[in-house]
Amino acid sequence: MLRLRYVLPVLLSLFILSCSSDDPAAPAYEYLVDAEPTGTLTPTDLRTEFADQPQLTNLVSSTVDSWRVVYNTTDPQGNDIQASGLVVIPRRATPSVLSLHRGTTFIQSEAPSLFNPMQSGSNAGWIYLAPVISSFGYIVVMPDLIGYGATSGSRHPFFITDSDARLSIDLLKAVDELLDREEIIASGRLFLSGYSQGGSTVMAILKALQQGETLPFNLVAAASGGGAYDLNALASHLINEESIAGSAHITFLLTSYLQTYFPDRDLSDIFQEPYATRITAENLFGGTLSFDQITARLTGTIEALFTGEFLQAMRGDGEQALKARLAENSLHEVAATIPLRIYHGDADEIIPVEPTREAVQNLIDAGSTNLTFIEVPGGTHFTTALEFGGASLTWFAFQ
């Protein structure tokens, strides 16, 4: 009896341990929560989708598999959350990893992770760039960011740049675990690329690395296009214009900052009527309206959009708390040690080039000595995006 008394607990312990190791509900990885394959695209599929752009599809060479990944990360307040992203993996040996970052999207249905290769008509056209680029030989990784995909119940913290970096880096760590689970061998080489808000996200990742963050892959080079880097300089430039084309973006930024940093402030402190009321009443940034629809409900005239008191404070020594938060989220003092290219059109109507010129010099002064600035003559925010995509991928191929 004494022997049985001691043997039973041991057997019970072994049984519990063996059950837990095989329990599919038990978390196997630190970051990866779930990865669901969503479809496959062949080179023929991709050439059909981009039949009018042979300069792009001529380089298509591999069949690719699309995945929706859910992973562990944190929000700007440090709370644990589960976010999502798109991962596209080519069927070829030892591909490199490309962390690809989208520009601003106001519509939740355009979250990268919602990409469905089997329903071409239901996808935003630009999302097809992910499988096309993947077919060149990259594992393409695109975070949704907070407010999209798995976190669509939350409002996006627009230009809270450390949040964008956090979600991007944690997705890369989840992808590393996915590759381990699926026994896919990558080259270990990583490239960063992003345009507009995505360009700022690239710089936010480099800032996080400078502050001690680590990556699961070896970062080789980075390219940023059409981004905002010194937010105070950009805000100063915009509010001293008579009118702007990007009223939706600056309104999105300021409402995001009020929500994140100054929840007790009223929109009427910053915006004139009818816009102060309209932002909330018509839920302009609720994820259902496009850029054009939001812009049509605002005004591009600076003096009509913002209150006189707010403009006076921003043009002078006021709004110090807001300016401090803009400085906190700025990215123009990063000392990047890897090859870095920054692209910007000199006719960009959304993010003017002047603050970027100053930011580039600040980046060089801060220690980004391997930085090349490419200013695109006549380039608008849209046309420069097209040039940026091809030029950056060509440059990556030689790194």
Which pLDDT tens digit goes with each residue over 141-197? Answer: 999 999 999 999 999 999 999 999 999 999 999 999 999 999 999 999 999 999 999
Same domain, 267 and 222: no
In a domain, 218, yes or no: yes
Which pLDDT tens digit goes with each residue over 208-266? Answer: 999 999 999 999 999 999 999 999 999 999 999 999 999 999 999 999 999 999 999 99
Indicate the pTM of the whole model: 0.91
Q: What is the separation of C-alpha 149 from the centre of its chain, rounded to a whole number of angstroms? A: 13
What gap in Å lies between CA 145 and CA 181, rounded to an integer? Answer: 24
What gap in Å lies between CA 153 and CA 171, rounded to an integer? Answer: 19
Reply yes or no on whether the pLDDT at 345 is more than 90. yes
Encoding tokens for residue 287? 């994820």
What gap in Å lies between CA 301 and CA 322, rounded to an integer? Answer: 22
Same domain, 275 and 377: no
Residue 302 belongs to what domain range? 231-328
In a domain, 259, yes or no: yes
Provide the CATH number for the domain around residue 207.
3.40.50.1820
What gap in Å lies between CA 328 and CA 231, rounded to an integer? Answer: 9
113 contacts 100 by C-beta, under 8 angstroms:
no
Domain boundary among 282, 311, 328: 328
Reply yes or no on whether the pLDDT at 20 is more than 80. no
What's the domain count of the chain?
A: 2
Same domain, 323 and 335: no
Encoding tokens for residue 399? 């790194």
More confident call, 49 vs 201: 201
